[in-house]
Structure 1
Amino acid sequence: MGRELTIAILAIAVIGLLHSTAAQKTHVVGEFLGWLVPPGGNYTYEAWAATQHFAVGDLLVFNFTDGDQDVARVTKEAFNKCNSTDPIKLMTTSPANFTLDTTGEYYFIGTKDKHCELGQKLAINVTAEHVSPAPSPAPRSGPVTYVVGDKLGWLVLPGGELAYEAWAYGKTFIVGDTLVFNYLNGSHDVAVVTKANYDSCNTSSTLALFTNPPTRITLNSTGANFFICTFTGHCAGGQKLAINVTSGSTAATPPSSTATPPSSGAPPPGSSANPPPGSPTSPNTPSSPTPEGSAAASLGAAGLSATFLSIALALLF
C-alpha cells in the first residue's frame, strides 16, 4: 500500500512538473526593437504589451546595450513619476531576465538620464495562468475612424513593422471605417498594394497612391488590405500595415505576412539613426542576445527532473 501511494505521488509530481514548465512563456520586451528610448513615447511598449498575455511563471527578457541602457523594476508610484531613486530591483547587464512569480501589476523603467520620461517604461498585469482569448467585442453602432499609429503617426520605426502590427492588434475593422495616415508631406506617402507587393515591398505598381497628408482611406470592401510607403527603404524598414476588414463587428485575424525584420546595415531614411524631420531621436537598436533561461532551457530542466523521478519510480520495483 505504501509503495502504491509513493508511485501515485511521484506520477502526479511528474505530470505537474511537465505541465507547469510547458506552460511557461518567454516574452522578449519589444521583440527585435529591444529595450531603448522608443519613438512615439510610451505608446511603443504599451502597444507591445497589448499583444501579450503574462502569467505566473513566465519570463520577461530585456535586451539592451550595456552602459547605454538599464532596467529597473519599480512601484506604481515611482513608475508614474519616473522616480528611479529606490528601485525594487535594478539590472544593468543585458539580457536582463525577470521571472514573473506573483500575480498583479509589474512596472519597469529605464533609469538613465531622461529615458523614462521619453517613454522607456513598461507596465504589465500578470494573471495566475494563461487563459483563452477574450470574447469578441460587442456590436458597434456605426463606422469608426482610426488614426494609424495614433500619436506615433505614419513613419519608419526602428522596430520594423512590429509597431504597426501591435497597433492593429485587437482592433476590429469593418466596412465603412476610415483609416487616417498622418505623416510629413514630402517625406512619406501611402500606397494601397497587393499582398505580393506588400510581402516583397515592391513599389513599382500600386492599387492607389496618396501623397498629401493627412491621407484618409475609407474601407469599402471586406478582406485583406495592405498599405506601404513607397519611399526608398521605408517599406523594408517596417513602414507597412496589413489589416482584415469584415462586414460586421467580429474581430478579424490580421493577414499573414512573409515579411522579415530589417537586416542589419545602413538604416533606411527615417529610421532611428536617420529620423525624419520632427520625429524623436532614439538610440541605436541593440543586438538581441539569446535570452538566458529561455523556455527551451526550462523544458530541458523539466526533462532532466522527470528523468530523476522516473529513476525513482524504477527503484521501487
Structure 2
Amino acid sequence: MGRELTIAILAIAVVGLLHSTAAQKTHVVGELLGWLVPPGGNYTYETWAATQHFAVGDLLVFNFTDGDQDVARVTREAFNKCNSTDPIKLLTTSPANFTLDTTGEYYFIGTKDKHCQLGQKLAINVTAEHVSPAPSPAPRSGPVTYVVGDKLGWLVLPGGEYAYEAWAYGKTFIVGDTLVFNFVNGTQDDVATVTKSAYENCTTNSTIAVYKNSPVSILLNTTGEHFFISTYDRRCLLGQKLAINVTSGSTVQPPSSHSPSGSIAPSSHSTPYASGPGAASPPFSSAPSRIGGGYTFLLIAVAAFFY
C-alpha cells in the first residue's frame, strides 16, 4: 500500500511538472527587431507587449549587440524617469534572460546614453497563469464603419509602416464594412487603392483608384486583402499605408445603433464606395492573407495613440 501511494504521489508530481513546463513561454522581446533604440519611439515595445500574455514562470529574452546595448530591470519610478543609477538587475551580455517569477508589473530600460529616453524601454504585467483563449466574438448584427487611424486620421505616423498595422490589429473586417479615410484637403494628401506588389514596393504610378477629397469612404465589397497607400512624396515609404484582410463573415443584418469600440455606425447617407470627385469603381483584391494568417510581428506602432 505504501509503495502504491508513493507511486501515485510521484505520478501527480510528474504531471504537475509537465503541466508547468508546457505552460511556460519564452518571449523574445521585439522578436526579429531585438532590443535597441526603436525608430518608433516608446510605442514600439508597448505595441509588442500588447500582443503577448505574460505569466509566472515565463522567460523574457532580450537580444542585442554586446557593448552597444544593455538591459536593466528597474522600478516603476525609475522607468518613468529613465533613471538607471540604481537598477534592480543589470545585464550587459546578450541574450539577457529574465525569469518572471512573481505576478505584477516589470519594468526594463536600456541604460546607454539616452537610449531609454529614445524609447528603449518596456513595461509588462505578469499574471498568475496563462488564460484560456477568449471565446469567439458574437456574430455581428450589422456592418461597421471603421475610421482609419481613429482620431489621428490618415497621415504619416511616427510608427512607420507598422503604425496602421497596429491600428488594424484585432479588428475584424467583413464584406459590407466601410473604411473612412480622413485627411486635410488641400495639403497634397490622398488615398489610393493598389495591388499587393504596389503596396509592398510603394509604387505610386500604378494605382487602381486614387481619391483626393476627404473624407473618403470605401466599401469593402470583396473578400481577400485590400491595400491602400498615399501617393504623395515619400509618404508611403514613411509608413502611410494600410493592408487589411476581409472575410465573408455571416449574413449581415441591418446595422444596429451601437458600434464596437473604435468604430462608428454607418450613416444611411454615407457614400457606398468613395466620396469626392473622380471616384472610380471599387477595387478587387484576391491577394492571399498576410495579416489575418497569424501575422503578429507588430514592432513599430503607435497603438497608444489610437485608444
TM-score relative to the length of structure 1: 0.62
Residue 18, structure 1, aligned to residue 18, structure 2:
yes
CA distance in structure 1 between the aligned counterparts of 2:294 and 2:192, rounded to whole angstroms: 17
Residue 243, structure 1, aligned to residue 244, structure 2:
yes
Provide the residue aligned with 1:111 in structure 2. 111
Residue 98, structure 1, aligned to residue 135, structure 2:
no
Residue 255, structure 1, aligned to residue 292, structure 2:
yes
Percentage of identical aligned residues:
67
Deviations 1:193-227 (A, max 9, x none): 345x37975948432357x7x98653422544433
Contact 2:194/2:207 (<8 A) preserved:
yes
Provide the residue aligned with 2:127 in structure 1. 127
Give the unaligned 5+ runs of structure 2: 262-289, 299-307
Contact 1:149/1:167 (<8 A) preserved:
no
Paired residue type of 2:244: I
CA distance in structure 2 between the aligned counterparts of 1:242 and 1:26, rounded to whole angstroms: 29
Cα 1:165–1:22 shift into 2, 3 Å:
farther
**How many angstroms does 1:173 deviate by?**
5.6
Provide the residue aligned with 1:221 in structure 2. 220
Deviations 1:127-165 (A, max 9, x none): 11111345659999x85533289699647979xx66654
Deviations 1:166-215 (A, max 9, x none): 44323456834424589xx99x98653345x37975948432357x7x98
CA distance in structure 2 between the aligned counterparts of 1:67 and 1:91, rounded to whole angstroms: 11
Number of aligned residue pairs: give it. 252
**How many angstroms does 1:48 deviate by?**
0.8
Paired residue type of 1:220: L
Paired residue type of 2:73: R
After superposing the two structures, state which structure 1 stretch, 198-207 or 110-119, moved more.
198-207
CA distance in structure 1 between the aligned counterparts of 2:107 and 2:34, rounded to whole angstroms: 17
Cα 1:45–1:200 shift into 2, 3 Å:
closer
List aligned pairs for 1:67-86, cutoff 5 A: 67-86=67-86
TM-score relative to the length of structure 2: 0.64
Cα 1:124–1:156 shift into 2, 3 Å:
closer
Q: Secondary structure at the match of 2:72?
A: strand
Paired residue type of 2:53: H
Provide the residue aligned with 2:34 in structure 1. 34
CA distance in structure 2 between the aligned counterparts of 1:148 and 1:84, rounded to whole angstroms: 36
CA distance in structure 1 between the aligned counterparts of 2:202 and 2:130, rounded to whole angstroms: 39
CA distance in structure 2 between the aligned counterparts of 1:170 and 1:200, rounded to whole angstroms: 22
CA distance in structure 2 between the aligned counterparts of 1:192 and 1:257, rounded to whole angstroms: 24
CA distance in structure 1 between the aligned counterparts of 2:163 and 2:51, rounded to whole angstroms: 10
Provide the residue aligned with 2:209 in structure 1. 208
Contact 1:149/1:164 (<8 A) preserved:
no
Cα 1:85–1:217 shift into 2, 3 Å:
farther
Give the unaligned 5+ runs of structure 1: 262-317
Deviations 1:283-313 (A, max 9, x none): xxxxxxxxxxxxxxxxxxxxxxxxxxxxxxx
Provide the residue aligned with 1:286 in structure 2. none
CA distance in structure 2 between the aligned counterparts of 1:26 and 1:150, rounded to whole angstroms: 34
Contact 2:71/2:109 (<8 A) preserved:
yes
**How many angstroms does 1:235 deviate by?**
8.3
**How many angstroms does 1:75 deviate by?**
0.5
Provide the residue aligned with 1:147 in structure 2. 149
Cα 1:41–1:148 shift into 2, 3 Å:
farther
CA distance in structure 1 between the aligned counterparts of 2:89 and 2:209, rounded to whole angstroms: 51
List aligned pairs for 1:228-307, cutoff 5 A: 241-244=242-245, 254-256=291-293
Q: Secondary structure at the match of 2:21?
A: helix
Cα 1:30–1:112 shift into 2, 3 Å:
same
Contact 1:227/1:241 (<8 A) preserved:
yes
Contact 1:36/1:64 (<8 A) preserved:
yes
Contact 2:64/2:94 (<8 A) preserved:
yes
- Greater helix content: 1
Cα 1:202–1:179 shift into 2, 3 Å:
closer
Provide the residue aligned with 1:193 in structure 2. 194
Paired residue type of 1:242: A
